[in-house]
Amino acid sequence: MDCGRYAIKRVLGEQVVVQAVVFAEGHDRVFARLLYRQAGQEGWQRAAMEAMGNDRWEGSFVVEALGYYEYTVEGWVDRFGTWQEALEKKYDAGQAVGVELTMGAALLGEAAARVGGEAAKELAQWAEALVGTKDENEAVAAALSEEVGAWMREHADEEAMTRYGRRLRVWVDRALAGFSTWYELFPRSCGRGAGKHGTLQDVAAELERVAQMGFDVLYLPPIHPIGRTNRKGRNNVVKAGAEDPGSPWAIGGPEGGHKAIHPALGTVEDFRELVKRTRGYGLEVAMDLAFQCTPDHPYVQEHPEWFRWRPDGTVQYAENPPKKYEDILPINFETEDWRALWEELKSVVVYWLGQGVRIFRVDNPHTKPFAFWEWLIEEVRREHPEVMFLAEAFTRPTVMAMLAKVGFTQSYTYFTWRNTAYELRQYMEELTGTGLAEYFRPNFWPNTPDILPQYLQYGGRAAFVVRLVLAGTLSSNYGIYGPAFERCEDRAVEGKEEYLDSDKYEIKDWSAGERPDISAVVERVNRARRENAALQRTNNVVFCECENEMLLAYCKVTEDLSNIVMVVVNLDSHHRQVGWMRTPLEHLALEAHQPYLAQDVLSGDRYLWQGEWNYVELDPATMPAHVMVLRRRLRREMDFDYFM
Amino acid sequence: MDCGRYAIKRVLGEQVVVQAVVFAEGHDRVFARLLYRQAGQEGWQRAAMEAMGNDRWEGSFVVEALGYYEYTVEGWVDRFGTWQEALEKKYDAGQAVGVELTMGAALLGEAAARVGGEAAKELAQWAEALVGTKDENEAVAAALSEEVGAWMREHADEEAMTRYGRRLRVWVDRALAGFSTWYELFPRSCGRGAGKHGTLQDVAAELERVAQMGFDVLYLPPIHPIGRTNRKGRNNVVKAGAEDPGSPWAIGGPEGGHKAIHPALGTVEDFRELVKRTRGYGLEVAMDLAFQCTPDHPYVQEHPEWFRWRPDGTVQYAENPPKKYEDILPINFETEDWRALWEELKSVVVYWLGQGVRIFRVDNPHTKPFAFWEWLIEEVRREHPEVMFLAEAFTRPTVMAMLAKVGFTQSYTYFTWRNTAYELRQYMEELTGTGLAEYFRPNFWPNTPDILPQYLQYGGRAAFVVRLVLAGTLSSNYGIYGPAFERCEDRAVEGKEEYLDSDKYEIKDWSAGERPDISAVVERVNRARRENAALQRTNNVVFCECENEMLLAYCKVTEDLSNIVMVVVNLDSHHRQVGWMRTPLEHLALEAHQPYLAQDVLSGDRYLWQGEWNYVELDPATMPAHVMVLRRRLRREMDFDYFM
């Protein structure tokens, strides 16, 4: 991680496996051990490291508290072990070892002098066993005993050790950071009546439905007052009608800014009540953090120095030339007054922490300084290590990686545009098989209010199921923007990946219309995730060979091999696809000669499979995917109760 | 290189290509440049970097002086370029740009204030061109001119730049470090009479022969007095006979130690004369640096504290239990008196520098501290950057790499034991396709006095030619231990890779006996190396597909594509092998529809080849390898004079 500049990430209870190359000149034996501790603690905890061959050593520790851990590695020349080895070889070759035994006793004597106390007495006894007997066989046996070797390694001379020059760090999050299921919802569209502005109380009424589907994070787009000046109308037209509510991301009006709640949504008491009720359903509210202002935001009057002003006396609005976003003013992070600005933005986060929020979805973090995020996240987590930040950055790979390095807990990804088997394998390999796996936690979104991908526009209901299953089983963190997703909303602005009649610019009534509803499939996927620990990690994915490139097959397995999930997805949402696929028996510790049961948790079907190659057939008209739990040992009284 | 801790290596005139990931938050354009200089110089030289996509930038510089260079990278947000880009888009979209022009003029004004002088006047004129005209088209054209953009980049605000936090280093060697051909010879075996002890003058008599074969480094095993105590006899027997000369690596006797010359070889004047005459033949003497002593070495009396003493009052000899090397005492680098020891060993090197030596082949450097070598090499090179050190370490990969990192110019390798096509491809990929390529310069030895590999023991004359061609064409640095090599000496100690009746323990008469002689092939291989620049680098090797795994084919090409060498080796020294092999036309800029000439510099044969796949046939009974120069354009008057 850039020579130790940044921390890797783990969640509570996870293991940190550390490898180090440890060597010395010459032929002496070396030893290595891992030192680790919670940051701020005195002294180190030690873990043995094991030689892997070619001077590579490996050790591990488990993180058991939130916050930072640090670790490093120590190596030393194992003089006593080297001496033991030489003694044994000489003795076996029938050479005289009298002088050797004297030298070993001297090594023990030095150790005794170093450690003192009771241990010194024990060492003196060992030394005596080497030189105090006339029976050389007996002396050699004592000298070579595993006990004395282990003792000498355990109490190796600290002064003779070489410690790696850096203390590397691990940031430890709570479990939700590694396994979370997000549902995004526009509060104002929860009113359940054409044009009726929903309230936070209406959101509360949705909780049962959302919980029923199996989500644990309820992410709300900004709930703040919306500006009037240059407000955008339906479908992003430049002039809003009198009734148009504007984009929730156009934050700030006379009613207040980032610490205020849109009056039509309710009060801060309503919000606190919602946070509380959400927790009652096993969910948490995720708040949107969009650091930008409308021209009506109080900051513009109070802190004109936080914005850019043009030579014509107007304030600079956001733009991506020739596109203009006249309703939004970017904050000028290069202001001379940046310290006050940073503190104020931190106070926004602190305010919502006070209202019970512990998760923030950060809008466009890549357009604000990395240094700001690193500072803000560090500041917040010092008191609240349980807080999570999701980076909504769809930008270049280096920038997305950098945001994860500076502290974001989870990140949006390119999954949204990875459709083919090749692309998905490649991308998963990048996320799980490179350094990214240590610090970049992907959160897969098949759709967002900003993105209705082409795959969903042209694939019908099956396409939604395909993307749902992929997101929910490839990544342990995923989310959908609903009800657009589970109601299979596929109407886009012509030629674009934007929703037609988007939630972003109007109040939607999702109860109306006759769209399909895949809520039941969502529920089954989320239930499979909850019930199968193998799906609660991302980095354990293993792709399976498949003769048909339209079928993507992969498995996930827990470290103890007790839970195996095999997923097969027909990526072709239009046609039935069939093919033979290979189960990596060796990886799953399955035996070629024993049948195993594949229980599909989506359809309830059960297949008796055997050996490596098995036949699969998936019809998008019914169900384009298998999510199968593999049962290793088929007992006589078969475990049929999985779906009963 | 371990976060900048160690320097990469180049030879004079070579290029250093630097890639860096350079990015900033937001959407502004960034720029990057490379800063480099000879170490010790004030100020930096600059080289432009080019965007390679995905935030990766590349630049390069050429090293033109011996010693250290340093380099780093600078990046900055290109505000003016960003502004130009936005202006152009707005203008193209027909939007008003009056305010934009004013802002651009302001950027120019700021730059003018910063730089002052004549440049400021020019900038003021440009600013005026933007805002002083009523013709917006004209103003925009001026604003977008490449000239002003380039000027603003060239004079970018130094204060706004971000510099990479490390100064990385390059060590620059003379050309011989990158392209050298070594011949190892025991001086005492140059006497040309049974049992007659050769002298340095006898070595001088060999120079013409060695030069004729095309070598440029003459490496002599230690030429110092040899101890008497525990001297080893012929074939390494424990007791030497009265006439046995002992191993040259058993250094030190009453006549002196590491600064003395064995009386039977001659005097220091003879040595200086040899050094001089060697240079006259276009060769250089490489001296052996074996920091170990016999019990008779003056150091043992003068500095008992530099050795390990056993409880029984004896001094510790070298051992690799249960093997014993009673004639050699390792130096105890962990002595309290290590400073004096290090200085004394340095004085050995300085002494031989004084006698004209500029190349040292270091014996077993891996059994001495890395820190010692790093210090010694740095000390020597401060005054003499032309000095070269070859590390004779046959040990674990990490240790071999570490020795190269701490400063060794060239290194022995595992080539000696890589026989099959798969092994050779793998090993070359490791040497040339990983970080090793930047600092580890392989020197390939098919044999050494310590190693007669099995491949040479059982393959007859052809095996020697195979290994010669592989060593000399895979690696730009290679060497042989002769005359054992060119006389195809293949008699080993039964079951070992050691020479029977080795030069190491007796005086050999190589003129005797009836062994084959491949000196002429050696000469042709070395001539091909001298005449073909493509063979003077190692990292340009590209392996070619071949249908027969017994045939190994590879090509090397100069960067300007002016010299292409194709090598095909029949690795089976017993049987004729045939097959089709693929010339990577795209890599060599050859065209599929035009024939090209393959001129074999070993046999003199010429083949007219066309297209990718061509047939090859190699019979070990005649010549088991092709070393072919490919001629791209076949003119009407064909260039037949290559071998005439």
A496-554 pLDDT tens trace? 999 999 999 999 999 877 889 999 999 999 999 999 999 999 999 999 999 999 999 99
Phi, psi for residue B392 in degrees, rounded to 5: -90, 75
pTM for the structure as a whole: 0.92
Cβ distance of B322 and A95 shorter than 8 Å: yes
Mean pLDDT of A270-294: 98
Instruction: Answer whether residue A25 shows pLDDT above 60.
Output: yes
A363 a catalytic residue: yes
- Is B55 close to A399, i.e. CB distance below 8 A? yes
Binary contact (B321, A106; C-beta < 8 A): no
% residues pLDDT > 70 (chain B)? 98
With beta carbons less than 8 A apart as the criterion, state whether A408 and A377 touch: yes
* pLDDT value of position B644: 39
Q: Which tens digits make up the pLDDT trace of A111-143?
A: 999 988 888 898 899 999 999 888 889 999 999
Q: Which of A173, A363, A489, A600 is catalytic?
A: A363
Q: What pLDDT is recorded for position B514?
A: 84
Nearest by CB to residue A367, choosing from B26, B90, B398, is B26
Residue A639 has pLDDT above 70, yes or no: no
* Catalytic choice (A327, A392, A486, A506): A392
Look at residue B358 and tell me whether its pLDDT is greater than 80: yes
CATH of domain A182-534: 3.20.20.80
The vertex-A44 CA angle with A40 and A48, nearest 5°, equals 145
Using alpha carbons only, what angle is made at residue A11 by residues A10 and A15, rounded to the nearest 5 degrees? Answer: 60
Domain coordinates of chain B in residue numbers?
2-172, 182-534, 540-643
| β B388-392/B359-363 pair status | parallel
Distance in angstroms (rounded) separating the CA atoms of residues B477 and B473? 9
A21 to B54: CB separation less than 8 angstroms, yes or no? no
CA distance A189 to B215: 85
| Domain B2-172 and domain B182-534 have a common topology | no
For B24-72, the pLDDT digits (tens) are 999 899 999 999 999 999 999 999 999 999 999 999 999 999 999 999 9
Going by pLDDT thresholds of 50, 70 and 90, the confidence category of residue B116 is confident
Query: Which residues of A fall within a CB distance of 8 Å from B398?
Result: 21, 23, 54-55
Residue B635 has pLDDT above 80, yes or no: no
Higher pLDDT, A192 or B291: B291
Provide the 3-class DSSP secondary structure of residue B52: strand
pLDDT at A626: 98
Percent of chain A with pLDDT over 90: 86
The Cα A413–Cα B268 span in angstroms is 72
* DSSP 8-state class, residue B381: H
Compute the distance between CA of residue B579 and CA of residue B568 in angstroms, rounded to an integer: 11
Return all residues near A573 (Cβ < 8 A) that are at least 6 apart.
Answer: A455, A459, A460, A462, A463, A466, A620, A624
Is B636's pLDDT higher than 50?
Answer: no
The token pair that represents A407 in the structure block: 């502290």
Question: Tell me: the pLDDT tens digits for B185-224?
Answer: 999 999 977 779 999 999 999 999 999 999 999 999 999 9
A319 touches chain B (CB under 8 A): yes
Which pLDDT does position A366 carry in this prediction?
A: 96
Q: What is the pLDDT of residue B633?
A: 63
Terminal Cα-to-Cα distance of chain B (whole angstroms)? 48
Contact A23 B106 (CB under 8 A): no
Of the CATH numbers 3.40.50.150, 2.60.40.10, 2.40.50.100, 2.30.40.10, which one belongs to the domain with range B2-172? 2.60.40.10
Interface check B414 vs A, CB under 8 A: no
- The model's pLDDT over A539-554, given as tens digits with 9 standing for 90+, comes to 999 999 999 999 999 9
* Structure-derived torsion over alpha carbons of residues B341, B342, B343, B346, reported in degrees to the nearest 10: 120
Q: Using CB atoms, which residue from B3, B311, B398 is nearest to A21?
A: B398
Nearest residue of A to residue B28, measured between CA atoms: A367
Helix (H) or strand (E) holding A399: helix A397-405
- What is the rounded average pLDDT of the residues A433-440? 97
Nearest CA of chain B to the CA of A366: how many Å? 5
- Tens digits of per-residue pLDDT, A304-331? 999 999 999 999 999 888 888 889 999 9
Please give the pLDDT value at position B63: 98
B21: its two tokens: 């990931």
Q: Known catalytic residues of B? A: 363, 392
**A7-11, A88-92, A457-461, B629-633: which has the minimum mean pLDDT?**
B629-633
DSSP per residue, B190-244: GS-STTPPP-HHHHHHHHHHHHHHT--EEEE---S-B--TT---GGG-SS--TT-
Contacts of A322 in chain B (CB under 8 A): 89-90, 92-93, 95
Q: What is the pLDDT of residue A641?
A: 46
- Does A95 sit within 8 Å of B55, measured CB to CB? no
Structure tokens, B242: 């009265």
CATH topology for the B540-643 domain: Immunoglobulin-like (2.60.40)
Instruction: Give residue A632's pLDDT.
Output: 76
Would you say residue B634 has pLDDT above 90?
no
Q: What is the mean pLDDT of residues A64-78?
A: 97
From the number of C-beta atoms within 10 Å of its C-beta (0-12, 13-18, 19+), residue B238 rates as exposed
Which of A3, A19, A25 to probe by mutation at the B interface, max B CB count within 10 Å? A25
With beta carbons less than 8 A apart as the criterion, state whether B630 and B565 touch: yes
Question: Strand (E) positions, B339-444?
Answer: 359-363, 388-392, 410-411
A38: pLDDT strictly greater than 80: yes
A3 vs A23: CA distance, rounded Å: 20
Mean predicted confidence (pLDDT) in A609-619? 95
Question: Between chains, do B369 and A319 touch, taking CB under 8 Å as contact?
Answer: no
CA distances from A426 to A240, A583, B347, B625 (A): 43, 20, 58, 41
Listed in sequence order, the residues at least 6 apart from A509 whose beta carbon sits closer than 8 Å to its beta carbon are A189, A191, A192, A193, A194, A195, A196
- The Cβ of residue A93 has, within 10 Å, a number of other Cβ atoms equal to 12
pLDDT higher than threshold 70 for residue B15: yes
Chain A residues inside the 8 Å CB shell of B79: none
Token pair of B525 as six digits: 């291989």
B241-B243-B248 Cα angle (round to 5) = 95
Please give the average per-residue pLDDT across B164-192, as a whole number: 96
Mind telling me how many Å the CA of A103 is from chain B's nearest CA?
7
Residue of A nearest to B314 (CA): A99
pLDDT in tens, B509-527: 998 778 899 999 999 999 9
Nearest to B23 among A54, A311, A398 (CB): A398
**Whole-number mean pLDDT of chain B?**
94
Predicted ipTM of the assembly? 0.90
Closest alpha carbon to B556 in B620, B499, B472: B472
Cβ-contact B314, B329 below 8 angstroms: no
